[in-house]
Amino acid sequence: MLFPAPTVHPHGLKATRLKLFSCSTPQMRAFHLSWLAFFICFFAWFAAAPLMPLIKVEFKLSAAQIANINIAAVAVTVLVRLIVGPLCDRFGPRRTYTWLLLLGAIPVFGLAFTHSYATFLFFRLCIGGIGASFVITQYHTSVMFAPNIVGTANATAGGWGNAGGGFAQSVMPLLVAAVISLGVEKAWGWRAALLVPGVAMVAMGFVYARFTQDAPQGDFRDLRARGIDAGSGKKGGLAIFLQASRNYRVWMLAAVYGASFGVELFIHTIATSYYVDRFGLSLQRAGLAAGIFGALALFARALGGIASDRVALRRGLDGRTALLAACLVGEGLGLLWFSRAPTAGLAIAAMSLFGLFTHMACGATYALTPFIDRKALGGVSGIIGAGGNVGGVVAGFLNKAQAAPQQTLWILGLIALVTSGCAIAVRFPAAHKRAEQELFDEALARRDGIPGPTAATA
């Protein structure tokens, strides 16, 4: 049975603490398995990117064709992210994630058997769908953790999962070298390496179905059958999407995420080639340099969420938005430096600086997302997540139109600086802030063992 029924807990509560070394509760199992699933999806999503210097030679690709491949890798994710958010509300994150993993593995396997630019482009486009895994991860942690810790949980899960992109940059060239050292031809070496993330996705799909549940109380399907409100909303996917789309704050954060996660996507697709082409590094050295950017996600995105939760203790939701704006300013200034760095060493230093703020901005964005509209969480998460991929697509087209990537990076730095104004524009009515503050204070009280009313959102 693919989806064994978990125990229903009518009074299950959201976790008020993040116990990183525990898997004994549904909340922590969802946390660990969601970031691990996200890691594997990102590994598969960007596995081909560091191998493009090899693929370029074999398929005799032009600069325009490489740009098309990079754009295709992130384009379809926009649509899929818009879809999977409401699907999480409708069917639950457990089922949605499982099917994304199993179906998403198909084009990953297909990519390993391509022999032309057209088929490679097609499967690269299809693989972009697994980038929607981020929305499911953030949805799952949002429904499992209380307001006092949800920013930290979301950012940590997102950051550890995002590290899969950096892992691919560093590991895939080494994996190809290992396969070739065994006597496999170079043309088959990169293909054999691409089978690894596909197998990992299939295995993760079965693990996710077996060991997770939708909410602290149980699965949405079982809870609804018993008339229990899981806090996910009972409306259809389209209604959830429309409710979210009418909130201007959603679009402001979508723009912010486009300027942060969109830049992250762009760097993942061009970083290895950038260090090879501009500074003459070997494929292995360039991959290790590019991997630094992805490795920052292990702690930098979490740092953004932790800082957001800490700021919220004193300044509430307004503090969260101010922090987000500051991160975008840091990202923009770092990008401007990176675009003008004359040596590989300085470029790596600049990349580390803007990468820190880029990942922090991503974490701070989804530390704010759960507070936009609790009854349309799937739609909110999906639209904001799609905004990140729109940013990646825009960056791809911008790069295609420029004479050199340095010019694209300079323009992206300016865009990040301007977009900080979108974060500042996110404001909440007094009644909304009071209601969220009550939930926040209630969660803190329960965390500290102070008796109080029980609530599903505590």
**1 falls within a domain:** no
Query: 122 is in which domain, residue-wise?
Result: 26-215+230-447
By the 10 Å C-beta count (0-12 exposed, 13-18 middle, 19+ buried), 247 is classed as middle
**Distance, CA of 89 to CA of 350 (rounded, Å):** 40
The CATH number that applies at residue 399 is 1.20.1250.20
Number of domains in the chain: 1
Quote the pLDDT of residue 456.
Answer: 42
Which residues 6+ apart lie within 8 Å of 451 measured at CB?
none
**Distance, CA of 356 to CA of 344 (rounded, Å):** 18
Closest by alpha carbon to 90, among 377, 368, 366? 377
Pair 355, 300: CB distance under 8 Å? yes
**257 falls within a domain:** yes
**Distance, CA of 240 to CA of 67 (rounded, Å):** 35
Quote the pLDDT of residue 457.
Answer: 40
Quote the pLDDT of residue 448.
Answer: 87
CA 168 to chain CA mean position, Å: 15
Quote the pLDDT of residue 70.
Answer: 84
Sign of CA dihedral 86, 89, 91, 95: positive
**168 falls within a domain:** yes
**318 falls within a domain:** yes
Strand partners for 215: 218
- Phi and psi at residue 282, to the nearest 5°: -70, 165
Pair 428, 317: CB distance under 8 Å? yes
Q: What is the pTM of this model?
A: 0.86
Quote the pLDDT of residue 299.
Answer: 92
- Counting as low any pLDDT under 50, the low residues of the chain are 454-458
Largest CA distance in the chain: 68
Q: How many CB atoms lie within 10 A of CB 15?
A: 26
Q: How many CB atoms lie within 10 A of CB 85?
A: 31
Quote the pLDDT of residue 442.
Answer: 92
**Distance, CA of 244 to CA of 378 (rounded, Å):** 8
**Which three-class secondary structure string do you get for the chain?**
CCCCCCCCCCCCCCECCCCCCCCCCHHHHHHHHHHHHHHHHHHHHCCCHHHHHHHHHHHCCCHHHHHHHHHHHHHHHHHHHHHHHHHHHHHCHHHHHHHHHHHHHHHHHHHCCCCCHHHHHHHHHHHHHHHHHHHHHHHHHHHHECCCCHHHHHHHHHHHHHHHHHHHHHHHHHHHHHHHHCCCCHHHHHHHHHHHHHHHHHHHHHHHHHHCCCECCECHHHHHHCCCCCCCCCCCHHHHHHHHHCCHHHHHHHHHHHHHHHHHHHHHHHHHHHHHHHHCCCHHHHHHHHHHHHHHHHCHHHHHHHHHHHHHHHHHHHHHHHHHHHHHHHHHHHHHHHHHCCCHHHHHHHHHHHHHHHHHHHHHHHHHHHHCCHHHHHHHHHHHHHHHHHHHHHHHHHHHHCCCHHHHHHHHHHHHHHHHHHHHHCCCCHHHHHHHHHHHHHHHHHHCCCCCCCCCCC
Quote the pLDDT of residue 8.
Answer: 64
Which residues 6+ apart lie within 8 Å of 65 measured at CB?
59, 117, 121
**260 falls within a domain:** yes
Quote the pLDDT of residue 184.
Answer: 86
**Distance, CA of 423 to CA of 425 (rounded, Å):** 5
**297 falls within a domain:** yes
